[in-house]
A and B are shown apart, each in its own frame.
Chain A
Amino acid sequence: MQRFPRPRRLLASLAILALTPGTAWAHEFPGAGDFYGGMLHVVTSLEMLLAIVALGILAGQQGRSAALGALGAFPVATLAGGLIALSGRDLPGVTVPLLAAMVILGIMVAAARPLPRGAIIALAVVVGIAVGVGNGVEMGEGTVAWRFLPGVALAGTLVLAWLVGFVRWLRAPWTGIAVRVGGSWIAATGMMVLALRP
């Protein structure tokens, strides 16, 4: 199979990144079915998407072992979060934890200091549970949980894997700085929106 030259692949990736978030911001997906509805639900919630993106960048930046740990822990934690939501208990909202995760993960990316693998896995678990709970509590009447939740976990993990792969694929020295700048952008955004809360 012929592979694209690098600049073209980079441009194609950026184009996909630029176009994806715009495709559907509505939170109900008639006709998509519960599994695909779950996949769409997680990527059309901006705070969930940004928290997962920040986690992916950090995991990719920290190296192979940490990245694999995060990729393994995230889907399990997401499903666990979904089950917690199903339990019907009165749960706190996940917006604040997700915004806080954006700030913490973004600052870690900007600082670019090596972190223990366990810390990355713990962060992946926290983000995964928040994403699972956030999607689970928004499931509509009649949505089949065992279809919807795996869709959520799959789409979230795909986004995570895409970011991990992208960051680990970067080679040129300046891209290391660009990744750190990206982290600082995510942290800055989360910080200001967090300040909206009373």
Chain B
Amino acid sequence: MMPFALLAHPGAGVGAGFAAGFLHPLTGPDHMLAMIGVGIWGSQLGKPSIWVLPVTFPLVMAVGGVLGVRGVPLSGVEIGVAASALALGLMILLAARPPLWVAATLVGIFAIYHGYAHGIELPSSAAPLAFGLGFVLATGLLHVVGIAFGLVHNRPWGARALRAAGAGIAAGGAYFLRIAL
């Protein structure tokens, strides 16, 4: 309530920049599916992935973001994002348990694509720091949503519910991949 009432101030660029950044990951369904997928897969894999993924993902994503900010050409970003949703969905559906470094590498490659897609928007923002903070927070909170959902893993029906969610994420990813190709 209060923040919105005061958005008319000259410094409103910060509020608007934050809002734009925060909404950026939330308005791309392909991003949203993949980020929730990261959280679900993390909690399905259990320790240590459940915390390794949400701690390292933002840092690797920032590397992709830096590439985007600097305008380094990277082809097939949309394909990469959609493919990451598809692959993560399949991993959850199959309840795949690769070694941690394989999971981390897989998620890391996707993180670079995601960061790039957001980072390329950063220089055009009037308040880049607020935009960056907004999009990192929104991405992280999507992981939290996935992890929270993944906590049903230990219930009798939980493992099956998670795999069903994985099927949904994979189907969404396949749809967006078809559009991107």
Contacts and interface: CB of A to CB of B under 8 A. Distances in A.
Interface of A: 19, 21-27, 44, 46-47, 50, 99, 107, 110, 177, 180-181, 184-185, 187-189, 191-193, 195-196
Contacts of B174: none
B59 A187 contact: yes
A181 B55 CA distance: 5
Interface stretch (B24-32, B101-109, B130-138): B130-138
Given A44-B11, A189-B129, A177 B62 contact: no
- Range, interface on chain B: 35 or more
Contacts of B119: 192, 195
Q: Which of B56, B62, B66 has the most CB of A within 10 A?
A: B62
A146 to B, nearest CB: 26
B3 A46 contact: no
Contacts of A46: 14, 127, 129-130, 133
Interface string B53-89: 0111111011101100110000000000000000000
Chain A interface helix/strand/loop/mixed: helix
Contacts of B122: 192-193, 196
Contacts of B11: 24-27, 44
